[in-house]
């Protein structure tokens, strides 16, 4: 089974997301997946087995529990394969990052101008921020 065949299943992707947050018992994984996907415990166990057999997850005994964790090697292989396609989205993401920074800068500048305008147009006789009182 190819890595994308393993990752193509939404249940297995969700299990990997759970494991990416840290090591989890099979019971904890089963509880979340059963609630979200409505599948049986044996079905969740089968998905865990597929992930384990294809190197995406590791398992270790901890007393009576089995603790699962993400194995990064197959994910690195997927990342390496994706490298050939990054050129299609990297410039767009870079441009998006630039626009986000520009928008933040413009909002800060607008906020600064707004607060200065508010203080300088105060006609209540309040203290001028430059040190005196308004005339």
CATH of the domain at 42: 1.10.10.10
Using DSSP's 3-state secondary structure scheme, residue 54 falls into coil
Confidence of residue 60 (pLDDT cuts 50, 70, 90): very high
- The neighbouring-strand residues paired with 127 are 133
| pLDDT for residue 123 | 58
Exposed/middle/buried for residue 105 (C-beta within 10 Å: 0-12, 13-18, 19+)? exposed
Residues 42 and 102 in one domain: no
Record the pTM. 0.64
Is 4 a residue whose pLDDT tops 90?
no
Residues 8 and 65 in one domain: yes
Q: What are 69-115's pLDDT values in tens digits?
A: 999 888 888 888 888 888 887 888 888 889 999 999 988 888 887 77
Residues 85 and 62 in one domain: no
Residue 126 lies in a domain: no
Residues 60 and 43 in one domain: yes
- Calculate mean pLDDT across residues 27-36: 96
Number of domains in the chain: 2
Domain-ending residue, one of 46, 71, 96: 71
- 75-84 b/e with 16+ CB inside 10 Å = b? beeeeeeeee
Q: Which domain holds residue 102?
A: 79-118
């Amino acid at each position: 089974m190819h890595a994308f065949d393993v990752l193509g299943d939404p249940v297995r992707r969700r299990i990997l997301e759970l494991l990416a947050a840290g090591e989890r018992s099979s019971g904890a994984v089963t509880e979340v997946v059963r609630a979200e996907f409505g599948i049986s415990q044996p079905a969740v166990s089968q998905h865990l087995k597929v992930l384990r057999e294809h190197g995406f997850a590791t398992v270790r005994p901890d007393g009576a529990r089995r603790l699962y964790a993400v194995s990064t090697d197959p994910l690195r292989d997927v990342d390496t394969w994706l490298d050939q396609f990054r050129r299609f989205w990297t410039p767009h993401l870079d441009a998006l990052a630039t626009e986000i920074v520009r928008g933040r800068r413009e909002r800060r500048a607008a906020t600064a101008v707004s607060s200065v305008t508010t203080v300088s147009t105060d006609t209540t006789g309040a203290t001028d921020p430059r040190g005196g009182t308004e005339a």
